[in-house]
Structure 1
Amino acid sequence: MCIVLLTTSHPKYALIVLDNRDEFILRPTSRPHWWAAQTEPSSTSGADGPKESSSVEVLSSRDLQRAERGTWLGVTKNGNFAVLTNYRETDTHDAMHPIHGKRSRGGMVTAWLGANPAESTHDFVRKMLESGDVKGVGGFSLICGKLRKANLKGEKGLEPLAILSNRCDHIDHIPWIGGQRNSEYGLSNAIYQDEKVEQELIWPKVRRGIELLNQLIADKASEGKEEDELVEDLFKILDEDRFPQNHILDLEEGIPLLKHSIFIPAFGGQQHQDEMAAARQRGIIEQTDHGDAAETLANVARPDDQPNGFQTGLYGTQRQTVILVDWEGNVTYRERALWDSNGNEIPRGSGDATFRFKVDGWDSELSNHVEQSVSS
């Protein structure tokens, strides 16, 4: 069960994002890369002129299991940012909230990443709710918004981010986060709960993640750390493991334990253990025929037919991501792969991919739509 943590408290950074993707280890997933998403057609020549489609540059990994090629986290060159966590539906009789949707949850993320850059977060969220596009997928929560510097009530800040889910029916029910300085937020596989609710309603892993993030930011020594050192400290938060030492657990047996540990070590019953061993054996044959393990890891970025299917092998934290956004709009995006495509563990840091870029439009004015929705 994934976790995402966000903070606006660090003096050097407008926003810091930490994310663990918990998934079946063998689920085919690309490495992060820049790719072009087609936006909705827009008229550039008046009402009677031709409608032209354009594209935006997206940075993300992509799920190669589903045809939508969606993702769980990404950001565009113009600052559209989104990260998704699943909501585990358990009621098989609730037709409005299916356990398994016909469409991929990852398509919710790419819907925002591929939105017209001129569209505000507020308008996107309202459109998704009114059109019913949040239905027909499995349970999810989507944090989405624009990475933009803003002056909220005369103070330097960040344009707020929305939390869209299939449990929201109206724009007035949408939580907005990130618009205030000195704040931390956490979300896992349950409905978002803010600090105003009883702490018992917030999952232990989320409470612990926020606590560790607060401790790191409160340590004044963190302000003087070089970026790479700070990133490693943030990865240590994502690495905190409070899962039982016995990893030979069936998925249903392990699920109740997932809410207590930020990091999930690979676990599964005997059948899943055997599937993992078979995948590793295939990997040995591939290495012999086609090259070394590094080549195998790089090749997973291609949308080829994959030998490993969904719900095959062990389950656990597959990818980790840290994103830093400074006050000039410079983004550092580092994703850490913990496993190769054949289920072999990758030493910490050896599977890292780092990207740096500056957000286009970072200094543009705050959308009135967002400002109104936050103040209402």
Structure 2
Amino acid sequence: MCVAVLTTSHPNYALIVIDNRDEFILRPTSRPHWWSTRVSRSPSKTTSNGQDSNGDRTEGEEVQHVLSARDLQRAEQGTWLGITRSGHFAVLTNYRELEADRLCQPVNGDKSRGALVTAWLGRSTEDSVREFVESMMADGGVQGYGGFSLLCGKLRKRPRRDGEKGDGLEPLAILSNRAQHPDQIPWIAGTRGETIGLSNAAYDDPDEWPKVRNGKSLVDQVVAEAVEKDLSEEELQKKLFWILDQDTLPTSPEWTLEEHLGKLKESIFIPPIGDPKHRDDMARAAADSNANGHSNEQLREKVATLTGTERPDPPTQGFGQGLYGTQRQTIILVDWDGNVTYTERALWDAHGKPLERGTGDLTFKYSIEGWDEIKQV
């Protein structure tokens, strides 16, 4: 039951994003890294979804440089959250399913909803968000996926409007398979003071989940404190990670994973849960890593350097195996000069061993290309 909270309330930042990825802990997943894809300059025509390290351009093409972790369980190597050098941004949450094997990531046999994120991240910079939304909805194009909300947009500074105290952000769209027409798509974050939450329910569901409600409230509290105390970026990040660690999950050691499902909407953070089978999976994974001579320090190094073309050992471990819980935490800060600070915190190594808070952190800093360009959304 993943959760994402965004806010435009901090005066020093155009956008703040926090995200928990809840998943089967042994699911093969890369660490965040830069990868690139060639795209046609003609809308909707991606010529390759493979990685390209040299970044060369050919006539009629451009290269999108993407920063994200990637799901290595599926051939598409999609993602749940990513951002590009040119400011394309997307985050995915799936609607809650009832079965234990349909929690946060796509199920084998379904269209990969992680590919929806990369569809926008790999889109030409010439395309507007609205064009992307319309093309995805054309001819029922999003109806073949399981339930999802895709928050997507092009991060651009919007000049101050009459009556506003400062600049704004170009609005972001929430695409879902429940919308039948582009006019039904919500547009958010276009004004200051907004705080928005997404989890495994429809964005417009009137029965807001406690994890979303609490996440929004805590983000507003932290932003107010950060402004009042003039907290540094590092201090702000610590407070935001504190929010992502809030565990209010009702639980019992006697409950099965199935019995926990209805409770996951209660808590921002999901501690490791599962049946005896899932605990046995974790023990075997840890034993295999020790038998192969990996020390804890070597495992930390491995998880910190994993690239999108590698798989954790053993490659067959993945979806449905091991305990279920919060696997990755991400914070994205975008200031008014278009400077991005992207930090992902891994809570588990590739073999299901817990990592001490902070030892699995990776941080990337860069400036968005075209941040000040004013184009149609």
TM-score range, shorter chain: 0.7 to 0.9
Q: Which of 231, 239, 242 is the equivalent residue of 2:237?
A: 231
2:14 partner letter: A
Q: TM-score, normalised on structure 2? A: 0.88
Q: CA 1:99–1:340 in 2, change beyond 3 Å: closer, same or farther?
A: closer
Partner residue of 1:67?
75
Q: TM-score, normalised on structure 1? A: 0.88
Q: CA deviation at 1:193?
A: 2.9
Please list, as runs of the form range in 1=range in 2, the aligned pairs for 1:200-219 lying within 5 A after superposition.
201-219=207-225
Partner residue of 2:151?
143
Q: Does 1:349 align with 2:355?
A: no
Partner residue of 2:258?
252
Q: CA deviation at 1:286?
A: 2.6
Unaligned runs of 5+ in 2: 44-57, 100-105
Partner residue of 2:289?
283
1:348 partner letter: R
Unaligned runs of 5+ in 1: 44-49, 92-97, 371-376
- Provide the C-alpha distance between the structure 2 equivalents of 1:177 and 1:41, rounded to a whole number of angstroms: 27
Q: CA deviation at 1:99?
A: 7.7
Q: Which of 309, 317, 321 is the equivalent residue of 1:312?
A: 321
- Provide the C-alpha distance between the structure 2 equivalents of 1:249 and 1:28, rounded to a whole number of angstroms: 26
Q: CA deviation at 1:151?
A: 2.5
1:38 partner letter: R
Instruction: Judge which range, 153-162 or 98-107, deviates more.
Output: 98-107
Partner residue of 2:345?
336
- Provide the C-alpha distance between the structure 1 equivalents of 2:195 and 2:297, rounded to a whole number of angstroms: 45
Q: Which of 333, 338, 349 is the equivalent residue of 1:324?
A: 333
Q: Which of 171, 174, 178 is the equivalent residue of 1:160?
A: 171
2:374 partner letter: E
Q: CA 1:171–1:152 in 2, change beyond 3 Å: closer, same or farther?
A: farther
Partner residue of 2:142?
134
Question: 1:71 aligns to what SS in structure 2?
Answer: coil
Question: 1:287 aligns to what SS in structure 2?
Answer: coil
- Provide the C-alpha distance between the structure 1 equivalents of 2:357 and 2:80, rounded to a whole number of angstroms: 21
Please list, as runs of the form range in 1=range in 2, the aligned pairs for 1:8-87 lying within 5 A after superposition.
8-40=8-40, 42=42, 52-87=60-95
Deviation sequence 1:281-333 (CA, Å, 0-9, x none):
11112334998222332454343471312110100000000000000000000
Q: CA deviation at 1:354?
A: 0.1
- Provide the C-alpha distance between the structure 2 equivalents of 1:290 and 1:191, rounded to a whole number of angstroms: 40
Partner residue of 1:179?
190
1:137 partner letter: Y
Q: CA 1:284–1:299 in 2, change beyond 3 Å: closer, same or farther?
A: farther
Partner residue of 2:278?
272
Aligned length: 351
Deviation sequence 1:206-227 (CA, Å, 0-9, x none):
0001111111122255551111
What percentage of residue pairs aligned between the two structures are identical? Answer: 54
Q: CA RMSD in A?
A: 2.3
Q: Does the 8 Å contact 2:209/2:266 carry over to 1?
A: yes
Q: Does the 8 Å contact 1:247/1:266 carry over to 2?
A: no
Q: Does the 8 Å contact 1:5/1:185 carry over to 2?
A: yes
